[in-house]
Amino acid sequence: MNNNTRPIGIFDSGLGGLTVFKELRALLPGEDLIYFGDTARVPYGTKSAEAVLAFSKEIASFLLGKKIKLLVVACNTASSLALEEIRKLSPVPVLGVIGPGVEAALKAVPAGGRVLVTGTSATVNSRAYSRALAESGPGIKVTEKACPLFVPLVEEGWCSKPVAAIVAREYLAPFRGRTDALILGCTHYPLLKKVIAGVMGPRTKIVDSARAAARSARAELAGRGLLNRARRGRSEFVVSDAPDRFSELAFKLLKIQTGKVSVKRF
C-alpha cells in the first residue's frame, strides 16, 4: 500500500474522540479514517494510570495492525498518561491532544493571562496541562478543574438537558469573570461547549482541543508528504461494546452517519 493512501487511526475512551474525527474529516476530506471507541471501558478519567496505559497500548496495537500512517490519541486522559509509551511501540507518528490544546490556548490569552483547564480527574491529577503551559508560556496563571460528570452526561446524550447546565454551573460558576481562556481538556467536552460558554460568560475564550488536534494532524501529514489527495476518504468505526448505541449517539450529537459499526473486544 502506498504510504499516502494508508488510513489515519484515531482512538478515544468512547464518543468524545468523534469531535476530533469530525474536525479531521472536515480538514482532510480525502483521508481514510479508522476510529476506535472503547465504549466497554468508558470513562477513562476515573481509572488508574496503569489501567489507562494498558487499555491505550492494546488499542494502539490494534490500530497499528490496520497499517495506519498516523495515530491520533483523541483522548486527553490517554494523552496525559500513555502518549510516550505508545510512541515507543509505534512505527508511525503519534499525536495527542494536549500539545495542540496548549498551543491554541497560548494564542488566545495575553501575556500573564489566566487559563482554566477543565478535564477528567486523571488528566487534572497528571498535571500535564500545567507543565506544558508552564514550559511554553511563562507567566501564564493556570488553574485546573476536574469535571468528572461531563463525560457520562455526553455518553448519555444529555448535552442539551437542564442537568448539563446545572452540573456546569456547579463546577465552573466560581471561575466566571476570572478566566481569560478555558481549555476543553477532554474531547467529550466540545459537545458541552455552548453550556460551558454560557456559564463562563463572553469574556472567556473557549479553546477546543479537538479542533487544534485536527490542525496538528494535518500539519504533521503535510510536513511528511503523506497527505492523501483523493476526492473522498472512507470512514470506519470500531467499538469495544454497544455499537448500535454508539451509532445512535454519533448521529444525535454530531450528525455523523457511521454506517455499520464493528466490535473489537480485548
Residues with a known catalytic role: 75, 186
Q: Could you please report the per-residue DSSP string of 71-140?
A: EEE--HHHHHHHHHHHHHH-SS-EE-SHHHHHHHHHHHS-TT-EEEEEE-HHHHHHTHHHHHHHHHSTT-
Q: Between the CA atoms of 55, 30, 237 and 217, what dihedral angle is there, to the nearest 10 degrees? A: 20
Q: Burial letters for 22-31: b for 16+ Cβ neighbours within 10 Å, e otherwise?
A: bbbbeebeeb
Q: Which residues pair with 236 in a beta bridge?
A: 34
Which residues have C-beta within 8 Å of that of residue 4, sequence separation ≥ 6? 69, 225, 226, 227, 228, 229
